[in-house]
Structure 1
Amino acid sequence: MNESNGSDRSSSADPGETPEWVPTPDQPWRPIPDGEDGDSFQYDYGADWCVDRASHPQFHGGYPSPNHHRTECRSYDGFFGALDDGGRPGYFSAYLVRPFRFGQLGHTPDETRLAIEFEPAEDTGGEPFRCTVHPASIRNLAAYLAHTADVEEGWRPPRHISQGLTDS
């Protein structure tokens, strides 16, 4: 699945940017000038947990390797066989994502999110699906999945989570 955060431009220049640079397959990201010329194009070091960390600019001569995903850093993914609501087979995966903003103008604060996607095993199996989960919800989701993993055919009382609050 290809998600876009805007760094894979198809036009030669966006409003407010100089038209001299045009993305190519070998240089899909805007090069970052060495000197301070007033424009604040981002030099993104990427996420430490990125599966393509060796392709980040600091490890690849100052420019990202074209092997890196153009729009985001991704962690290794968990990959599981699954069925969609219609019973058609597919694959469920979960991995961390963070936008990769090398060469973009300005600064956008980003957060790491959990991406969850389902991709049908067959071309006629329906559309791929992807959603992301806010970082604050990842631990709750993990606790919920751990709790429900022990339930097969029976009911189990809800797990009570201590909020860490004490009476003083």
Structure 2
Amino acid sequence: MPREKGQKVVARNRKAFHDYTIGETWEAGMVLQGTEVKSLRAGKASLGDAFAQVDDRGEVWLYNLHIPEYAFGTWRNHDVMRKRKLLLSKREIAKLARESTDSGKTIVPLQLYFKDGYAKVEIAVGTGKRDWDKRQSIKERDAKREAQRAIGTRLKRGRR
């Protein structure tokens, strides 16, 4: 059977862009069990409360990633909220550890996807926003939408 090509997004963490100012991003592989892969291929996962940490041994672990049990699994089904190991190079782990040790910074998963048949997660170091930062980013987003709408209506009028 030929290997899958391309990228298929399973889950996105839209809350991360609201709650954090996102810095540099990395692509990491994940160590998964068989039933976890089957649940992901069915398009089921939740990144809502997920975060990553670098431990003392220099390994990166992803916590609170919710992958529901595989419906056709047996008693050997996976634990829904277990911690999962992320696969990165030593240099990437060292850089993540340096950047995430600062106060107010955390490693946040942005999206979970399959790339050429392998499960990948995009992670970034995020700095927590305050309430007024969140309101400001919402105002900027709304102003951008209004400007795009105004340009779109002008273009439609010009075509008639």
TM over 0.5: no
Q: Under a length normalisation based on structure 2, what TM-score does the superposition of the two structures give?
A: 0.23
Compare CA radii of gyration and give the structure with the larger one.
1
Which structure's residues are more often helix, by fraction? 2
Which structure's residues are more often strand, by fraction? 2
